[in-house]
Chains A and B, each alone.
Chain A
Amino acid sequence: MPSIDYESAADVTKRLEQRLVGSLTGETSVSRRTVLGSLGVAGSAAVGLGSSRASASPGHGGDDTHGNFGSVGEYQDLDFDPHEFLTAFNTGDSGQDNVPQQVYEEDGRTVREFEFTAVDTTITIAPGVEFQAWAFNGQVPGPTIRAVEGDLIRVKFTNLGRHAHTIHPHLKNLNPRMDGIPQNGPGVLETGESFTYEWIAQPAGTHFYHCHSLPLKEHIHRGLYGTIIVDPDPERVRENPRDYVNYPGPITDDMRTRFVEEAKSRNHEYAENDAVNEMVMVMNSFDTNFDGGNEVYAANTRAFAYGVGSTDGTGNWTAGETKRPIQIDKNERQRVYLSNATEFDLINSFHTHSQFFDYYDHGTTLTPTRKTVDTIMQTQAQRGIIELDYSDHEPGLYMFHAHQSEFAELGWMSFFEVV
């Protein structure tokens, strides 16, 4: 079995989603024991929400060997699109409409300026399930900032939420006033207060920012976090290659050239970067019932957002409007900037089906810190870069998800559709 087949893929996503939504919305679901005609993936007695036939497509034979399904529906709230978020980078030059930004020179340094606002809002984390969130610019995860090594990142932050907030960056920051903690600089910013944070973009890599107000658990898990990507500067790489590799041996010209090429492919200001399809994923989770454990897990907030839309359970699936696999071009190199914002659990993980990848922990190196793996784990605030190559694969669905089965079944379950 080189890859999972359509049927089981669609099937599993669908059922997990139903189970999750059912468990959260507390709908009295009709439990129906199905007569099992085979030992398929869906062999267990499924809990359906409503009628089984209504959702079966016409022409389907009707032998319910794959269990019963009711439609769970799409996401109705279109304020946030996880598919757009995947590739939304705010560089100062270009970015999202809800993030005012500009780029300019100051003292020979490139300054990338962003306006951030903390607000209290309601987000949708599973179809029909809402969550009261605290959010940077109204979105969870917060906007992805992208800069180049050595740039100055200037964030004009205003707090409009009920609670006091800060922004704390996981960067090498030489000025304690800019660390965004209650004990330093402006401290926490009460409702209505503003402060301008200034950070030098260093080191190259993929980084994390979050609110550092107390209580920490609440301020992070309510949604105040996001990704800062610092692209390596190829010129700096050429001069100081050792800063970018964990390699004690002699560095040949050949190696140096390779590192520079790699740095160019990572730097959004170089043409080489256009050949790579880059995606941002923040693994996050939500405690909806205040018990200190999560009810919903996801990559980029929405449970099963990168799952299949609907299926007849016989291998025919259709992409939904809001729930659909991530389409990728098999001939393009794939890069995922992955970070973990999960609260209440020790670790989260990322596992690809039928595929191995190279992993760069924290993204601070140009050579993989883990080569040829299909599962990596991250603790909260840990992050890294995943490089994938599907050029040898047949077109179709390839699953990726957390390999804590619990997290996968609670929403952190996704697909790439290779075309």
Chain B
Amino acid sequence: MADETQKPTPDGGVSTENEVTQPLGLPRWVSAILPIVLLVLVLGVFAFTSPLASIQSQSGEPLPDVTITHTTLPSDETVVLHVTNNGPDSVTIAQVLVDEAYWNFQVEGAGGDQTLAPMESAQIVIPYHWNPGWDLNVALVLSDGATFENTIVAPSQAPGFSLSLLWTLAVIGLFVGVIPVALGMLWFPYIKTMSDRWLHAVLLFAAGVLGFLAFDAGFEAFELAERVPGAYEGNLLVVSGIFGALLLVQAISAWREGRVAAGDSRASSGLWIAYLVAVGIGLHNLAEGLAIGSSFALGRVSLGAFLVIGFMLHNVTEGPAVVAPVARGERPALGHFAALGVIAGAPVILGGWIGSLAYSPTIGAFFLAIGVGAILQVNWEIASMVRDAGGRVASATNLLAFLLGLGIMYVTDLFVAL
């Protein structure tokens, strides 16, 4: 490469005249809308004249893409596959294989035929006398011979909808979510007596707890995203959910700071952060509930006492995280504590219901992602709280406390395996 003499570039110091007059003297709204009108026109021309048709015929058809999102087993003689067509073209499910044998089936919810339009979902109902615990491999054979398969590991019957199931999930949610958080909040009087240094350590411990939950839920979300139908872009959905929640909660927080600057005393209290923490934890617990509920829906429940105990140990650490921000200043009214506990803990119940009644990997992954975003924002908030109180976020004590939070969550997480 020969050296090139660089031309000096203007450094942008040239001031241009600020033109407020529109070209041709048109009103402003016309210049705003004009590109859109032209775009519609171009699209119309493109659609009618198909200038790329010759290329299309040479480069072949787009490949069919069908996802079996999940399966349900409503009775011991029925297998239901939930399928979505992700491809750009319609697909026709011509045959179904069960354990490499052609089997009869019915397609429900695709307009009465076996053809799925792009993005259309349907249920394939297979009358098959399956055996509990014996893996079942199912495959869809499309009209062009392409196959999409799914293995139902250790099948067991789904409980189906009933009030007793809702009640069961409510009781589980109570034990797994509400009670542990409430117990954890009982540390409040003790936290109140702490010096600044130790209070900040507790706050950072809470941040560690939340940080662990963020990773935990994040990995879970990406894992679940793999089962999201391709057209919904599972991984990007999770990323959007994380950023969306993070920025939304942060926007609310920024609005609050604006209120504080304007002299609103209520907005400056730690109660605000406590509520934010409760919301973040609540979203996480919603996802935890989803996991429990969907394990019911998929007939994969192994909720032994041990698991519930594990969840309780895991969630009891969320209590101090909620109340630490209000340890300074006036004690909030008891009603606030109740509200904080309910916001943080009760979503387990709600999540359980959603998970058991309307399970889908898409919803699950999205909820998890929202939880992650909310938690990340809460950690941001905690850090600024410590800083505003004159503490150093990255002091040795605080870092160790954060690490302890991570560590305790890791250890208690070992007891939880759905």
Contacts and interface: CB of A to CB of B under 8 A. Distances in A.
B99 A215 contact: yes
Contacts of B129: 162-164
Give the one of A162, A164, A289 with max B CB within 10 A.
A162
A253 to B, nearest CB: 54
Nearest to B133: A132
A16 interface: no
B100 A290 contact: no
Interface in A207-259: 214-218
Interface in B132-169: 133-137
Contacts of B131: 132, 162-163
A216 B101 contact: yes
A185 interface: no
Contact of B100 (A162, A163, A164, A292): A292
Contacts of A290: 134-137
Nearest to B152: A290
A291 B129 CA distance: 19
A215 B101 contact: yes
Contacts of A216: 101
A351 to B, nearest CB: 29
A217 to B, nearest CB: 7
Interface in A13-31: none
Contacts of A163: 129, 131
A224 to B, nearest CB: 14
A26 to B, nearest CB: 16
B239 interface: no
Interface size class of B (residues with CB under 8 A): 10 to 19
A215 B134 contact: no
Contacts of B98: 215
B153 to A, nearest CB: 8
Nearest to A218: B99
Nearest to A344: B100
A216 B99 CA distance: 10
Give the one of A218, A291, A292 with max B CB within 10 A.
A218
A215 B134 CA distance: 14
A217 B135 contact: no
B96 to A, nearest CB: 13
B149 to A, nearest CB: 12
B138 to A, nearest CB: 12
Contacts of B135: 289-291
Contacts of B100: 217, 292
A162 B133 CA distance: 14
Nearest to A289: B135
A292 B98 CA distance: 12
A132 B133 CA distance: 10
Contacts of B101: 214-217
Contacts of A289: 135
Contacts of A215: 98-99, 101, 103
A95 B96 CA distance: 45
A217 B98 CA distance: 11
A16 to B, nearest CB: 27
Nearest to B101: A215
Nearest to A120: B131
A294 to B, nearest CB: 15
Give the one of A132, A215, A289, A291 with max B CB within 10 A.
A215
B95 to A, nearest CB: 15
B48 to A, nearest CB: 51
A292 B134 CA distance: 12
Nearest to A290: B135
B105 to A, nearest CB: 14
A312 to B, nearest CB: 41
Contact of A217 (B99, B103, B133, B134): B99
A291 B100 CA distance: 11
Contacts of B133: 132
Nearest to A215: B101
Contacts of A218: 99
Interface in B66-119: 98-101, 103
B129 to A, nearest CB: 6
A163 B100 CA distance: 19
27 contacts: A132-B131, A132-B133, A132-B134, A162-B129, A162-B131, A163-B129, A163-B131, A164-B129, A214-B101, A215-B98, A215-B99, A215-B101, A215-B103, A216-B101, A217-B99, A217-B100, A217-B101, A218-B99, A289-B135, A290-B134, A290-B135, A290-B136, A290-B137, A291-B135, A292-B99, A292-B100, A292-B137
Given A164-B129, A292-B100, 6 more contacts: A132-B133, A162-B129, A217-B99, A217-B100, A290-B134, A292-B99
The 5 A-B pairs with the shortest beta carbon distances in the complex, nearest first, are A290-B135, A215-B101, A163-B129, A215-B99, A290-B134
Interface of B: 98-101, 103, 129, 131, 133-137
